[in-house]
Amino acid sequence: MGRVVTVDGNEAAASVAFRTNEVIAIYPITPASPMGELSDDWSAQGRTNIYGTTPEVVEMQSEAGAAGTLHGALQGGALATSFTASQGLLLKIPNMYKIAGELLPSVIHVAARTLATHALSIFGDHSDVMATRATGYSLLASSSVQEAHDMALIAQSATLQSRVPFLHFFDGFRTSHEVAKIEELSDDDLRAMLDDELVAAHRLRRLNPDAPVIRGTAQNPDVFFQAREACNPYYLAVPDIVQTTMDRFAEVAGRQYRLFDYVGAPDAERVVILMGSGIGASEEAVQALVDRGEKVGIVKVRLYRPFSAEALIAALPASTKSIAVLDRTKEPGALGEPLYQDVITAIVEQTAAGNVAWDRFPRVIGGRYGLSSKEFTPSMVAAVFAELEKDDPKVHFTVGIVDDVTHLSLDVTEELNTEPDDVVRAVFFGLGADGTVGANKNSVKIIGENTELFAQGHFVYDSKKSGATTVSHLRFGPRPITSTYEITRANFVACHQFNFLEKMAVLEVAQEGATFLLNSPFEAGEVWDKLPRETQAAIIAKNISFYVVDGVKVAREVGLGGRINTVLQTCFFNLAGILPPDQAIGEIKKAIQKSYGKFGQTVLDRNFAAVDASIAALERVEVPAVADSDFLRPAPVPETAPDFVQRVTAMMIEGKGDLLPVSALPVDGTFPTGTTKFEKRSIALDIPIWDPDICIDCAKCALVCPHAAIRMKVYDPAFLAGAPDTFLSKEYRSREMPGQLLTIQAAPEDCTGCGVCVDVCPAKSKEEVKHKSINMMPKDDHLDVEQANFDFFLSLPEPDRTEVRLDTVKGSQMAEPLFEFSGACAGCGETPYIKLMTQMFGDRVSIANATGCSSIYGGNLPTTPYTTNADGRGPSWANSLFEDNAEFGLGLRLAQDQAVEDARVLVGHFAGELGDELVAGLLAGVTDIDEAGLAVQRERIGHAKKILVDIDSTEARRLLAGIDTLAHKSIWIVGGDGWAYDIGFGGLDHVFASGRNVNILVLDTEVYSNTGGQASKATPRGAVAKFAAGGKPTGKKDLGMIAQAYGNVYVAQIAVGANNTQTVKAFAEAEAYPGTSLIIAYSQCIAHGIDMETGMSHQKEAVESGYWPLYRFDPTAEAEGRHSFHLDSRAPKIPFKEFAMQEARYAMLARTKPEEAERLFGIAQDDINNRWHLYEQLAEVDRLVPEEEEEEVQA
Q: Which residues lie near another protein (CB under 8 A)? A: 30-31, 33-34, 37, 40-41, 44-45, 122-123, 173, 177, 431-433, 435-438, 441, 459, 461, 463, 465, 468, 470, 596, 598-603, 605, 764, 769, 825, 856, 1010-1013, 1024-1029, 1086-1087, 1089, 1144-1145, 1148, 1151-1152, 1154
Rounded-to-integer distance, Cα 69 and Cα 99, Å = 11
Rounded-to-integer distance, Cα 464 and Cα 124, Å = 19
| CB 1028, min distance to another protein, A | 8
Distant-in-sequence, close-in-space partners of 798: CB < 8 Å, separation ≥ 6: 713, 815, 816, 869, 870
Interhelix angle 9-19/145-162, nearest 10 degrees = 30
- Of these residues, 482, 515, 675, 1010, which one is catalytic? 1010
63 given a catalytic annotation: yes
* Cα distance from N-terminal residue to C-terminal residue, the chain: 89
30 given a catalytic annotation: yes
867 given a catalytic annotation: no
| CB 37, min distance to another protein, A | 6
95 given a catalytic annotation: no
Rounded-to-integer distance, Cα 916 and Cα 974, Å = 40
Gyration radius from the chain CA atoms:
32
Rounded-to-integer distance, Cα 457 and Cα 486, Å = 10
Q: Between the CA of residue 424 and those of 146, 456, 587, 753, 968, what are the distances in Å?
A: 21, 10, 18, 38, 62
Asked if the peptide bond before residue 862 counts as cis, ω within 30 degrees of 0, the response is yes
Rounded-to-integer distance, Cα 861 and Cα 276, Å = 27
Task: Please give the sequence-ordered ranges of beta strands (E in DSSP) within 282-370, or none if there are none.
Answer: 296-301, 303-305, 322-327, 363-369
Rounded-to-integer distance, Cα 1011 and Cα 977, Å = 13
Closest C-alpha among 1043, 1111, 1104 to residue 1081? 1111
At 406 the three-state DSSP class reads: coil
| CB 1123, min distance to another protein, A | 32
Closest C-alpha among 315, 332, 244 to residue 275? 315
Closest C-alpha among 213, 134, 142, 210 to residue 171? 142
Closest C-alpha among 879, 1043, 1066, 899 to residue 974? 879
Rounded-to-integer distance, Cα 561 and Cα 583, Å = 27
| Residues 12/19, Cβ–Cβ less than 8 Å | no
Query: What sign does the CA torsion over 980, 984, 986, 990 have?
Result: negative
Rounded-to-integer distance, Cα 197 and Cα 138, Å = 22
Rounded-to-integer distance, Cα 930 and Cα 56, Å = 55
- Of these residues, 21, 81, 95, 113, which one is catalytic? 113
Rounded-to-integer distance, Cα 234 and Cα 236, Å = 5
Distant-in-sequence, close-in-space partners of 684: CB < 8 Å, separation ≥ 6: 748, 751, 752, 753, 779
Rounded-to-integer distance, Cα 964 and Cα 978, Å = 35
Task: Please give the sequence-ordered ranges of beta strands (E in DSSP) within 283-413, or none if there are none.
Answer: 296-301, 303-305, 322-327, 363-369, 396-399
Rounded-to-integer distance, Cα 1133 and Cα 592, Å = 45
Angle at 970 between CA 969 and CA 971, to 5 degrees: 130
| Residues 756/687, Cβ–Cβ less than 8 Å | no
Q: β-pairing, 56-59 with 23-26?
A: parallel
Pick between residue 951 and residue 1144 the one whose CB is nearest to another protein.
1144
| Residues 273/317, Cβ–Cβ less than 8 Å | no
| CB 460, min distance to another protein, A | 8
How many C-beta neighbours within 10 Å does residue 143 have? 27
Pick between residue 398 and residue 1010 the one whose CB is nearest to another protein.
1010
Rounded-to-integer distance, Cα 1044 and Cα 989, Å = 11
| CB 599, min distance to another protein, A | 4
Beta bridge partners, 324, equal 272, 365
Beta bridge partners, 1113, equal 1051, 1125
Closest C-alpha among 648, 670, 643 to residue 659? 648
- Catalytic positions, written as ranges: 30, 63, 113, 1010
